[in-house]
Structure 1
């Protein structure tokens, strides 16, 4: 598995996939920069008059529910991506916190427009349960994946993956990635991730970049994205501790680490378990 992830890392930098992201204004710059750091190119079109054309020239599409005013653009772009066979990565930001967000996510899933879902435990549980609960953007303490509930969490996540015919990446202190048959758990990373805005959005964008370059191996591409963020989070925290810097520097160091990451560093830093 480690060799395969290294191949995905290298191939992405070689083919430079264009990722079309419809994302929220809070994190749009970080999302663009993390795609560039991975070796891809980024475009952030949200006007429904052009999104189909932009999607057609892109390798992958990332949809972030933080861009609530762009729902019609999301549908148009997702339908075009499906028609062309391009991966669509959904970030169900704060799913369950409002009917508007929940209904849009449900529509995308019901129409079979999503290839990969990347969210925290609260968001994905809200999608799986199909019910509203005001967990907000941050993962609820009751929903966190722990060593004690790892097997149970992996089982319901795999069932949800099979039901939606998607690869699911549940991110947190322990990341779980599944295609319904295979499931991987990744540990590591940095607690500073939770102290900056946009770590999850960046992971979604990174996932879209690797999926765009490797559309026939979406599970492995999603595992690569998780692994890269875990390893780079560790490297970034080490650097800010050495320099006695803070959270703003951590965000910059995180993007730096992604741009400089080698296959050897990825292999050395990975803490992966196949369940």
Structure 2
């Protein structure tokens, strides 16, 4: 999609500085497989994660947070009820929430749950191409949690979904495309090794949620989160010997990334 401009590094720098100054508390309702990496990504980038999952507690806790993430990766009845209550409370409290529709379109239970959650007005949606296509009501082409199509194939679906839902939609892949339905950005950074470490996409969704906290421009905020993850992923890949060392280099890169180097255009390793 050559007509979608690349997000300027000056915008990434501005949003990163704003995010770190806010140091948001992010309420993370995610799947059990990715809790550790999601928490560490948020901490390394400059936020505070909290994973309050009991349905008896989410209504009390969600208003304390700056943002909420709903990730349906390991969905079950009790977790879904907690998610519903957290979303309802977030809406009342004005807390922006992000939906990660893991494997939507592959299994009926999670697909129905995500469609119901979508009607509750997320601030942002982050998914792979198959998930975004399916959530938009189109053929997805997914294989479990994996996408079998490239991100460019889902750009129009992302734009349409943004218009229909009012959310900022990020479809992520080799290049990420982010749209609010009227404006769009591309973030072309990252490395293929990121797909070899479980939870990098889900952790990005947590980062997206964090960046929406107190964001005056949600499109810029979500796109900046994608850019930060991609830029740090590329830096980590250049130093890593494999998936194991990539993970720790990725966390270090998130911790060390500075707005000043982005403003100077210093995006190499």
Match of 2:85 among 70, 76, 82: 76
Partner of 2:246: 250
- Cα offset, 1:37, TM superposition: 1.1
- Mark the CA change 1:61 to 1:165 in structure 2 (over 3 Å): closer, same or farther: same
How does 1:167-186 map onto structure 2 within 5 Å?
A: 167-186=168-187
Structure 1 unaligned spans of 5+:
none
- 1:29 alignment counterpart: 36
2 CA distance for matches of 1:125 and 1:187? 20
2:5 alignment counterpart: none
1-structure distance, mates of 2:267, 2:138: 34
Give the CA deviation at 1:15: 1.8
Summarize deviations over 1:131-162 as a string: whole Å, max 9, x none. Answer: 7865310111xx2134xx5xxx4333211210
**Closer, same or farther: CA 83–264 of 1 in aligned 2, 3 Å:** same
Distance 2:243 2:115 in 1: 35
Equivalences for residues 198-213 of structure 1 within 5 A: 198-213=199-214
Count of residue correspondences = 258
SS state at 1:185 partner:
strand
What CA distance in whole angstroms lies between the structure 1 residues aligned with 2:13 and 2:221?
A: 10
- Structure 2 unaligned segments of length 5 or more: list them: 1-7
- Provide the residue aligned with 2:4 in structure 1: none
Q: CA RMSD in A?
A: 1.8
SS at match of 2:92: helix
| Residue 134 to residue 231, structure 1, CA distance change in 2 (3 Å) | closer
TM, length-normalised to structure 2: 0.91
Pairing 1:95–2:100 present: no
**TM (normalized to structure 1)?**
0.89
* Contact 1:38 1:259 survives alignment (8 Å): yes
2:27 and 2:65 in contact (8 A); partners too: yes
**Cα shift at 1:170:** 0.5
Question: Which of 251, 255, 262 does residue 259 from structure 1 map onto?
Answer: 255
Choose 32-41 or 154-163, whichever is displaced more: 154-163
Could you tell me which residue of structure 2 aligns to residue 11 of structure 1?
18
Find the partner of 1:2 among 3, 9, 32: 9
Matched, 1:44 2:51: yes
Structure 2 CA distance, aligned partners of 1:72 and 1:19?
A: 19
